[in-house]
Structure 1
């Protein structure tokens, strides 16, 4: 049979591109909200954003915005961006990430201007809002890095909540008994490793469902720390639950840089370790042999095994390392945020860290910025409630979880987890 006849006898293959309208629909809804609320419903007021503290060595002039102008300009720009995203989707083209990022920045600016303009006080310290957002994001960043280390090697880490909580508990107890915050930090890392050890043994050695093990560990740690808190820590808080705090280490000159100086160079030791951890995990994953092997066992463990990589040992060690990283995030609660442990004080932030991991597309840098988004949403709730805005506190408290839903649902872009994530490996 001739080649032409062979080709003509084959059924015609029709290739159709799959178009997702989730992002254009979401952007369109937000653009309509901006036009109705931020443009039509904006107050006729001037809003002042203070970029630096008046006592700072270097000061910047305040930014004064007229709320109606910002509302209408933002509404029009957002509508154009939504229309452009719909046009790209109709043509089967990918919506660029910068468009979503610019859309988010404009929407947040318009929301801030409208909310502050409607408040009792139309003056807000923007530098304080940003600095507080970074502070609140610290445990989320450590938790998301823990998830990156686990899932990049093929283990689903639902136990981030338990690692953070047990790290906070160990830091409080060890810091109180020793009188040293650094001993408490070390104890928190050990506590995180212990939780990870249980996760690794059951999920890797005994091949128990990883999601179930993680959920059980979260419940176990919550019950255990709650029991010890009520029976031991509460009865003698001076001995068991009075850890010293880690002071902020201000770097001269650098901390005086406007806006970013107080955020980057006026942190506790845990804050500086956060920056080091993000850089180290990124460099390790994408620039070292260890990182290549880790990504290999997370994507194709059988091929990695064929090349001589011990898959389960690599996974085991990475899960333990992830526990130490999450433990540092847990220490933040009792050594930096407050001087003492409280029952379930992590308040589900381990699950938000998991969402930041997904939103960041299993990349340390992406997870870092995603965690900052959640920290900003949390801090915005506190700042706006103090200013006396008309926005209900219940709605503001929902913001981190709404972002979590959008991240997990893939509205802001399709995310692909490592191919072997959650799949146990049995040699042979």
Structure 2
């Protein structure tokens, strides 16, 4: 029974940062901004969360530090792309490179230092339900936040007036500006939200998934989160399903290595990223669905009339 419980528990832990980071990027892209710097924001959030936890002794302060750092990093991206109208693709790639290098420098002194793991929060009564209780109702705060994010973002985008305005800006920033909607301000807020989510996802890596600091510990998860948004066709509930699918593939290859199936370990380690490529290739064949769901102004610069 313990082994049966351990598998879904590890899948949840591996999937949570993907869901959180992808939800932030989904909101950013819905506003018409393409931020490829998710990996950089995740890794800088991870190292700052770990250092803050070591300094204060509280993983919750580390969680807050990850959010703040990711948001601050995203503001740099926003200033360059929204105010200075720099190319979004190039700026996002530069942000990732900056995050990887800066995190290595900041975290050099804490490599190998034992971390403080965030403990699970048990929901009274529900946590005692056999099998389901330990899996769903005795989890860390990051898991609960990921579910709240999915529900909240889905409501915000499709049930609120502000969400409707954000989607309108993402679909046609020129028309939205003509109608008097604050395009730049809305996009700044969306970018800020995306950065905060990426920083939160990074904090999960260093406080729960692997409670220590290891250089480049994001290991491409930011890129998987970006692919996950496309895979989900910019729909929150599909992000949740896709995140757990990719998480299951990640954990599955680890179990396959442990079972000694005779396959090269390098091949098994590459499976999550190979799955990402395969999914994107399959999606690209359905051009009609992709065109319908893709925000029309995604990645296009906007300069308001003066």
TM-score (norm 2): 0.92
User: Which aligned pairs between 1:277-356 and structure 2 lie closer than 5 A?
Assistant: 277-356=149-228
Q: Could you tell me how far apart the structure 1 residues matched to 2:222 and 2:117 are?
A: 22
Residue deviations 1:226-273, cap 9 Å, x none?
12223x334xx7xxx554221011224423445543332121011111
Structure 2 residue runs of 5 or longer lacking an equivalent are none
Offset of residue 340 of structure 1: 2.0
Equivalent residue number for residue 290 of structure 2: 415
Q: Could you tell me how far apart the structure 1 residues matched to 2:114 and 2:53 are?
A: 8
Structure ID, larger Rg: 1
Contact kept, 8 Å, 2:52 with 2:65, in 1: the verdict is: yes
Residue deviations 1:101-124, cap 9 Å, x none?
xxxxxxxxxxxxxxxxxxxxxxxx
Q: Are 2:52 and 1:174 equivalent residues in the alignment?
A: yes
Contact kept, 8 Å, 1:377 with 1:399, in 2: the verdict is: yes
Contact kept, 8 Å, 2:47 with 2:106, in 1: the verdict is: no
Contact kept, 8 Å, 1:359 with 1:415, in 2: the verdict is: no
Q: Are 2:301 and 1:424 equivalent residues in the alignment?
A: yes
SS of 1:362's equivalent? coil
Contact kept, 8 Å, 1:406 with 1:412, in 2: the verdict is: no
Contact kept, 8 Å, 1:355 with 1:404, in 2: the verdict is: yes
Structure 1 range deviating more: 409-418 or 148-157: 409-418
SS of 2:297's equivalent? coil
Q: Could you tell me how far apart the structure 1 residues matched to 2:251 and 2:93 are?
A: 28
Offset of residue 155 of structure 1: 0.5
User: Which aligned pairs between 1:14-413 and structure 2 lie closer than 5 A?
Assistant: 52-53=1-2, 125-230=3-108, 232-234=109-111, 242-257=114-129, 259-409=131-281, 410=283, 413=286
Structure 1 residue runs of 5 or longer lacking an equivalent are 1-51, 54-124
Q: Could you tell me how far apart the structure 2 residues matched to 1:298 and 1:290 are?
A: 13
Q: Could you tell me how far apart the structure 1 residues matched to 2:184 and 2:219 are?
A: 32
Offset of residue 412 of structure 1: 7.6
Residue deviations 1:353-378, cap 9 Å, x none?
11111111111111111111110000
Question: How many residue pairs were aligned?
Answer: 300
Q: Could you tell me how far apart the structure 1 residues matched to 2:153 and 2:27 are?
A: 8
Q: Could you tell me how far apart the structure 2 residues matched to 1:153 and 1:338 are?
A: 33
Residue deviations 1:150-191, cap 9 Å, x none?
100011010110111011011011111111111111110010
Q: Could you tell me how far apart the structure 2 residues matched to 1:419 and 1:407 are?
A: 22
Contact kept, 8 Å, 1:180 with 1:243, in 2: the verdict is: no
Which structure has the higher relative contact order (CA within 8 Å, separation 6+)? 2
Q: Could you tell me how far apart the structure 2 residues matched to 1:373 and 1:209 are?
A: 32
Offset of residue 288 of structure 1: 0.8
Q: Could you tell me how far apart the structure 2 residues matched to 1:415 and 1:153 are?
A: 17
SS of 1:345's equivalent? coil
Q: Could you tell me how far apart the structure 2 residues matched to 1:349 and 1:245 are?
A: 20
Change (3 A) 1:406 1:226: same
Contact kept, 8 Å, 1:181 with 1:243, in 2: the verdict is: no
